[in-house]
Amino acid sequence: MLLGALAISLARAQEYGLDSREPIGAYLNNAMPSYDGEFEFPATLSATGAFSDVVNVVPAPGLIPYAPNSPLWSDSALKNRWVAVPNDGPPYDAGEQINFVPTGEWTFPNGTVFVKEFDLIVNEQTQEKKRLETRLLVRDANGAVYGVTYKWRDDNSDADLLPGALNEDIPVVQADGTTRIQTWSYPGRGFDGCLFCHNQPASYVLGLKTHQLNGTFTYPSTGRTDNQLRTMNHLGMFTPALNEADIPNYLQAVHVEDPSYPIQTRMRSWLDSNCSQCHRPGGFGPGYDGRFYTPFDQQGIVNVYLKFRDLEGSLIYQRDDALDATKMPPLAKNMVHEAAMEVMRQFVASPLEVLSVYLSQDTTHLAVRFNSVVDPASATDLSHYSLDQGATISSAVIGSNPDTVILSVSPLVADQSYTLTVNDVLDTAPSANTIWPGSQFVFSAVFPPSPSPNWLADVSTRVLVGAGDNAVIAGFIAKGGPEKRIMVRAIGPSLVDKGITGELIDPTLELYDANSNLIATNDNWADNYNAQEITDTGIAPTSPNEAVILMKLPSTNDGAAYTAVMRGANDTVGVGLLEVYDLDAGTGPDLLNISTRAFVDVGDAVLIGGTIVQGTQAQTVIARAIGPSLDVPNPLADPTLELRDENGGLLLSNDNWRSDQEQEIIDSMLQPENDSEAAIVTTLMPGPYTAIVRGANGGTGVGLVEIYALN
């Protein structure tokens, strides 16, 4: 019984999508002319013979369905496709077969007809569809093509031949119940329509090629799913015939909206299907080669038409994202393919990068640290790395940390400067990011510096977040150059897990520099282009509604100041937590302080600042509670300050700063301006601490809590 079931299972696993193809004459049994002008085109779709049942869109015998892996964007239309390769049944000769090549353009027998039917969802709530048109592209007797368009009647009884291009405004009920008008462009027959894309440099036929059909398809007539190349080969459609074992080795384009493939592959697949018909050697669109099978570094795209973290300077993006006179493609486009633009934005953002390169063990090993956990297969591929000055690389292995690769290299000269070039390394995001092509990192052949004996790894504030001017405003300083890698978090919903009530439901973040220039924003952290980098820190928020900004900020020896603002989306209010994390692990510039201004209420709505001291030695800090000296409406008249350990134990407290530690506070040069303000100077061992600001005698008002590292 088990063996029988296994045999049936194996047989089914080996089934092809279709068992055979039916005979069909050239030009749909000569219903279509062998060249444009031989005789009149059929006036209706039913007269072409493309469908045995026009009303139900049932293809005629001999038409083989197919679907490219990466379809051309057609203003969100749904499409069905068939190809009729003329034949009179097996055995097939070359005139009845497609000339197959693993890479490049296939050629088709004269008389081959390609059929494409277009539908549009006109009610997003019910998924009601409207039949728009059916296009026929005919391989003519001269080896070129012509195209005709049949526009469906409103009752779907048939479709009528269009004499030329036509625009139609179609109402579409959207998911929210509102109606928008979508313009649909029916193409003309000449170079202002079908032949603009189906042109001679592109070999006329666009969707049928190896990398586009090297993918699975479920065949409607059998319900079977199979690789399209495998099924077409089984049907005798190729010359030469394929060896099925070679199919997995062929290139494979992917759908731009398929998140299981790397961002770079998704983007390149989309450029191939939407741009390469013109953008190719000898094509109508000069500048770059959009073909998927051209190696990426030879396409002329990177750093010319798509620029590293520069959307405004990325011409491909700007034109593909446009609907004005600059739009690409320049015809039959009335909607931007937003999903593709999001993928292109992700590629340009290029979040994966090298953070540092140092000697490891000796001068024959380098530790290359990335800002994210790297994919082991791509990160240990030797061909993805090169060094200048004749230095060679003999091996690449993942280090003790999954974001670090250890390269074995020829002996380097200590203290000498080198350039490491990295290509094709991936992170571990579900749709993986690839390091920017040709990324270069200049480094000195030195060992990594020892971490600081103490540093503030995290500074944070928990407070009631109000609306409008009562948003939470936090300042921090990065001192030492040239860059500081930090992560700012705005936490709200997950505070419930800490027993906090009245939490901020949807916090948002803004980050400003010392000149009040907005440099970053975020609402929901997973929407960041570097969401995988955030995840790999191990401190990503647990709620998708919480906000994060992770970036490298310019830092100076005098200290570079930044301001983070936490608000509630749509002016909502509640208790929120604003945190700034030092991600440099005690190396590089210091994170000196956090200063947070917010409304101080009573109970759980007091102002709570926190910090974590890390390292091996104690850290001296000053904590301040400011109120009367703030130039704001309703300042907190008499702030008090408590400093507590991780268990909530009270370490020190102060009401008016001159009452305790006056001289120590003055010596810090950070004494408050008003005698009613509070301050504490103390030395803290490594660990977490909390500073709590309240109003004396239950007072309320706008207050400021600050924690500074004193070095």
SS3 readout for 5-43: HHHHHHHHHCCCCCCCCCCECHHHHHCCCCCCCCCCCCC
At 24, is the pLDDT very low, low, confident or very high (cuts 50, 70, 90)? very high
d(C-alpha 546, C-alpha 507), whole Å: 6
Which tokens hold the place of 540?
């990503």
Output the pLDDT for position 468.
83
Average pLDDT taken over every residue of the chain:
94
Per residue in 283-313, pLDDT tens? Answer: 998 799 999 999 999 999 999 999 999 999 9
Output the pLDDT for position 1.
42
Residue pair 233/193 in contact (Cβ under 8 Å)? The answer is no
Output the pLDDT for position 469.
79
Q: Is 2's pLDDT higher than 50?
A: no
Question: pTM score, two decimals?
Answer: 0.89
Output the pLDDT for position 5.
45
Helices 263-275 and 338-349 sit at what angle, rounded to 10 degrees?
130
> Is the CA virtual torsion 476, 479, 482, 486 positive or negative?
negative
SS (H, E, C) 118-183: EEEEEECCCCEEEEEEEEEEEECCCCCEEEEEEEECCCCCCEEECCCCEEEEEEEECCCCCEEEEE
For the chain, what are the domain ranges? 17-249, 285-349, 354-444, 454-709
Per residue in 562-581, pLDDT tens? Answer: 999 999 999 999 999 999 88
d(C-alpha 20, C-alpha 26), whole Å: 18
**Residue % of the chain over a pLDDT of 70:** 98
What is the CATH number assigned to the segment(s) 354-444?
2.60.40.1220
Q: In sequence order, what are the residues at sequence separation of 6 or more whose Cβ sits closer than 8 angstroms to the Cβ of residue 412? A: 359, 363, 364, 366, 391, 418, 445
Tell me which amino acid residue 664 is.
E
Q: Is 473's pLDDT higher than 50?
A: yes
Per residue in 687-711, pLDDT tens? Answer: 999 999 999 999 999 998 888 888 6
Output the pLDDT for position 433.
98
Mean local confidence (pLDDT), 638-648: 94
Output the pLDDT for position 3.
42
Q: Is 191's pLDDT higher than 90?
A: no
Output the pLDDT for position 13.
58
Q: What is the CA radius of gyration of the chain?
A: 33
Per residue in 111-124, pLDDT tens? Answer: 999 999 999 999 99
**Tokens 């319900």, residue located:** 223
Output the pLDDT for position 8.
41
Per residue in 156-171, pLDDT tens? Answer: 999 999 999 999 999 9
Output the pLDDT for position 11.
45
At 609, is the pLDDT very low, low, confident or very high (cuts 50, 70, 90)? confident
